[in-house]
Amino acid sequence: MRNIALVLLIITALVSCNNKKAQVGLPDIPVYTAKTENIALHKEFVGQTYGLFDISIRARVDGYLEGIHFDEGGNVKKGQLLYSIDPAPLNAKVAEALSVVAQAKTNLVKTESDYKRYKPLAETNAVSQSDYDAALANFGAAKASLEAAEASLDYAKIQRGYTKIYSPINGLIGRSQAKVGDYVGREPNPVVLNTVSRLDTILVQFHLTELQYLSIINFAKAREAVKNTREQQKAEVELFFADGSRHPYLGKVDFVGRNVDPTTGTLMVQTSFPNPEELVRPGQFAKLRLTIENPNDVVIIPIKCLQEVQGKYNLYVVDAEDKVEYRSVEIGQTLMDMVIISSGLNENERVVMEGLNRVRTGMKVAPKEKEFKSVRSNQ
């Protein structure tokens, strides 16, 4: 009996050992448990920045550039002298116009005198009617000639005034396109000498497709149907830069273009952002994020859990019996290193996060829950 009991004990120990070996032999696979978040869906666009005003400084008369009266890349004030062009040729034109005015005045005095002398004589028939009519006509022509000469003088003075070029606004001025001594104002010489930009507000223009436009418009109508405060009804736009950093101020949509460009099938949209520190400059390329759908509960997982094959997305799910299942899913919006799963995955399902090349369908694994720290938490 003692021998039989010993044999049974040995058999039990061997079975237990084999079970432990089988359990120990399962591969440890890091998994992530799918979670739901209340997220407002966004759409991202790439746009280009502009100043609130980007005004070209033009040479409106041609001549030799005589002076530059500002620091390139610095701030200028409205009415500040920027450029001066040699006024000598235009001074001569003003003098010539003054001479013509003087001649016209002299002629007017003579014709007026003749008219006043002929008028009482014509009333008494002391001169012929034709002589009186000629005197009257000469007097009228002399007045018209004086008016034309004075207009030419005003124009010459205006042209001479264009030799002094002043800043039209307060703003930041760029690099001069001409140097002192250059002949400017006539092609192929520089006509646009510089640009002054007002930067306390920055504009960003981007293009969206007709379908995107319709989606955004429908979302806007849905928001208007909900009774919210005026501030809540404003569209919020986020601005991101090339290094991934976000502009500290939210923007708003100013307007949507009148028509769809037939060559590209897109509409132009303009947004504006406060820029009090003037850190954003015209000409930058920036990424915009625009809300297109109200917040909803959506399933979200790390992007690293996905596999893409010919435009289709797949992942491995570990079921309740710790077996691996290969599953196709549809994805939605990407949120930096996370992605929304539109269909194919439910909340609390475990997804293989690492070692995707080590698993296959039907394989039994030892799932190990692993925490994933998303960079979204730093935004």
Which residue in 218, 292, 374 sits closest to 41, CA to CA? Answer: 292
Q: Residue 231: which CATH number?
A: 2.40.30.170
Here the tokens at position 362 are: 């039907």
**Do 309 and 228 share a structural domain?**
no
**CATH, residue 66:** 2.40.50.100
Round to whole Å and give the CA distance between 95 and 100: 9
Task: For the beta carbon of residue 214, count every other beta carbon within 10 angstroms.
Answer: 11
What's the pLDDT tens digit per position in 183-203? 999 999 999 999 999 999 999
For residue range 87-127, what is the model confidence (pLDDT) as tens digits? 999 999 999 999 999 999 999 999 989 888 888 887 888 88
Instruction: Specify if 107 maps to a domain.
Output: yes
Under 8 Å CB-to-CB from 267, ≥6 apart: which residues?
207, 208, 210, 213, 256, 257, 259, 260, 261
The answer, yes or no, to whether residue 7 has pLDDT greater than 70, is: no
Kindly compute the dihedral angle of the four CA atoms of residues 314, 315, 318, 323, in this order, to the nearest 10 degrees: 60
Number of domains in the chain: 4
pLDDT for residue 129:
86
Instruction: Kindly state whether residues 112 and 74 are assigned to the same domain.
Output: no
Same-domain pairing of 220 and 290? yes
Instruction: Please tell me whether residues 262 and 281 are part of one structural domain.
Output: yes
Contact 359, 350 (CB under 8 A): no
**Is the model more confident about 264 or about 296?**
264
Is residue 13 in some structural domain? no
CATH number at residue 140: 1.10.287.470
Q: Give 81's pLDDT tier (boundaries 50, 70, 90).
A: very high
Q: What is the per-residue pLDDT for 221?
A: 63
Claim to verify: residue 227 and residue 290 sit in the same structural domain: yes
Mean pLDDT of 288-295: 72
Tokens of 41: 């869906």
Is there a single domain that holds both residue 230 and residue 275? yes
Taking alpha carbons only, the member of 282, 125, 88 closest to residue 204 is 282
Assess if residue 20 is contained within a domain.
no
Strands (E), 59-191: 63-68, 75-76, 81-85, 164-166, 171-173, 183-184
pTM of the model: 0.66
Instruction: Tell me the sheet residues that pair with 308.
Output: 313
Give residue 310's region: left, alpha or beta (phi > 0; psi -120 to 50): left
The domain of 281 spans 43-51+200-295
- Do 81 and 169 fall into the same domain? yes
CB 182 within 8 A of CB 64: yes
Pair 242, 359 in one domain:
no
Question: Has residue 2 been placed in a domain?
Answer: no
